[in-house]
Structure 1
Amino acid sequence: MVYFIGAGPGAVDLITVRGKQKLEEADVVIYAGSLVNPELLTYTKSNCEIYNSAKMTLEEVIDVMVKAEKENKMTVRLHTGDPCIYGAIREQMDLLDGYDIEYTVVPGVSSFIGAASALKAEFTLPDVSQTVILTRMAGRTPVPEKEDIEKLASHNATMVVFLTSTMLGELSKRLIDGGYKEDTPAAIVYKATWPDEKVIITTVKDIEKAALDNDIHKMALIMVGGFLGDRYSRSKLYDKYFTHEFREAVKCE
């Protein structure tokens, strides 16, 4: 069996209980060395075979899994955050299907969730935004035209931008061209939940400057939207004048 496991955003104790258990049981671990906290490897057995996928091709990763399966060994493929977001797991699973190798996925805490905790922020505030857009700028990996930043920005929803730390000037311009005001609140969270985490509050106009001023060039999430402001409406769920399945509203005074 191959387990695709989300390692969490960085802090060692933010891997799930299930993920830690499978990591402790694994005979073979292939981890995303450029992103996953290496301290997680201390959970493995002393005789566990460990591979850093940062130095490997897709075919080399699959070869390790196939060899382990032939030797009746359990493999953990350890991805950063949650593997369903920019984890490139589909291509691995499709190749494993060709070998009739069974696999399962253990979810993890995504970095965008870790970044929200670092900000002590709620992405979905009533009368501000009820939608969270997770996206990235086009780089060596293209983005479909219908998902251009300008088109997504037109919604003025909460936006979290991955994998874009080297293109912040262009990002800022395109967010503004799409419809965000220049003074829309923005945040840069570098290495969310890691010991050297940095949180910078800025505006859409000044994203690039804020990153340069703080020497941030990689491993950062950019968050944009009114959820970072101080105006919102209270939730109806806890409003004493709101009736729902578990509570009757009080009469208006």
Structure 2
Amino acid sequence: MIHFIGAGPGAADLITVRGARLLREADVIIYAGSLVNPALLENKKEDCAVYDSASMTLEDVIDVMKATEASGGTTVRLHTGDPSLYGAIREQMDRLDELEIAYDVTPGVSSFSGAAAALEAEYTLPEVSQSVIITRMAGRTPVPEREKLSKMASHGCTMVLFLSTGLLEDVERELMEGGYGPDTPAAIVYKATWPEQRVYRCTVSTLARTAKENQVTKTALITVGGFLGGQYERSKLYDPGFTHGYRVGSES
């Protein structure tokens, strides 16, 4: 059996209970060494073999899985955050399907959730934004034309950008081209939930300068939108005058 597991955003105690158990039971662990906190490996079995996938190809990863399966062992493929976001797991699962090797997926806490926690913020505020766009800037790996950042920005809602820290001048240009004003609140969250976590609040027009001044070049999320400001409407759910299925509202 192959277990794909979300390691969480960084802090070793933010992996799920299920993920931690499967990690302890694994005969082989293949993990994204450039992104996953190595502290997660401290409770592995003494004879567990560990592979850092940072220098491996898809074919290398599958070869290790095949060999482990042939020997009757269990493999954990440990991905950062939640594997469904920029985890490149589909290509692995498709290959395992071809080989008729069983697998399952254990979700993890995504770094976009870790970033919100670091910011002490709520992405979905009444009358500010009720939608979150998770995307990235086109770089060496392209994005579909219909998902160009300026087109995503035209919605004006909360945005969380992965894999874009090294392209912030382009990010600024496309966000403003899409309709965000230069003074729209923004924040750079470096290594959310890690011990070295840092938060830099700025605006859309100062993203690149803020990253340069603080020497942030990678492993950071970019958050943009009015949710970072101070204005919003009170939630109807807890408004004493609002009636719903569990409470009758008071007369105003």
Moved over 4 A (4+): none
Matched residue, 1:4? 4
Distance 1:75 1:140 in 2: 31
What per-residue deviation string (whole Å, max 9, x for no partner) do you get for residues 197-233 of structure 1? 1100000000000001111001010000000000000
Map 1:93-242 to 2 at 5 A: 93-242=93-242
Map 1:70-85 to 2 at 5 A: 70-85=70-85
What per-residue deviation string (whole Å, max 9, x for no partner) do you get for residues 78-126 of structure 1? 0000000000000000000011001000000000100000000000000
Query: 1:61: Cα distance to partner?
Result: 0.2
Distance 1:65 1:52 in 2: 13
TM-score (norm 2): 0.99
Query: 1:251: Cα distance to partner?
Result: 1.1
Q: What amino acid does structure 2 have at the position aligned with 1:161?
A: L
Distance 1:140 1:183 in 2: 29
Distance 2:170 2:147 in 1: 16
Q: What amino acid does structure 2 have at the position aligned with 1:136?
A: R
Query: 1:49: Cα distance to partner?
Result: 0.7
Query: Structure 1: 5+ residue runs without aligned partners?
Result: none
Distance 1:33 1:168 in 2: 25
Query: 1:141: Cα distance to partner?
Result: 1.2
Q: What amino acid does structure 1 have at the position aligned with 2:122?
A: E
Distance 1:82 1:234 in 2: 31
Q: What amino acid does structure 2 have at the position aligned with 1:115?
A: A
Distance 1:158 1:103 in 2: 34
SS at match of 2:166: coil
Q: Percent identity?
A: 62
SS at match of 1:82: coil
Q: What amino acid does structure 2 have at the position aligned with 1:210?
A: T
Query: Structure 2: 5+ residue runs without aligned partners?
Result: none
Distance 2:200 2:67 in 1: 45
Query: 1:76: Cα distance to partner?
Result: 0.2
Matched residue, 1:91? 91
SS at match of 1:4: strand
Distance 2:43 2:119 in 1: 29
Query: 1:193: Cα distance to partner?
Result: 0.5
SS at match of 2:171: helix
Query: 1:47: Cα distance to partner?
Result: 0.3
Q: What amino acid does structure 1 have at the position aligned with 2:245?
A: E
Q: Are 2:19 and 1:19 equivalent residues in the alignment?
A: yes
Q: Are 2:35 and 1:43 equivalent residues in the alignment?
A: no
Q: What amino acid does structure 2 have at the position aligned with 1:64?
A: V
Query: 1:140: Cα distance to partner?
Result: 1.6
Query: 1:153: Cα distance to partner?
Result: 0.5
Matched residue, 1:32? 32
Distance 1:48 1:140 in 2: 36
Distance 1:109 1:41 in 2: 17
Count of aligned pairs between the two proteins: 252
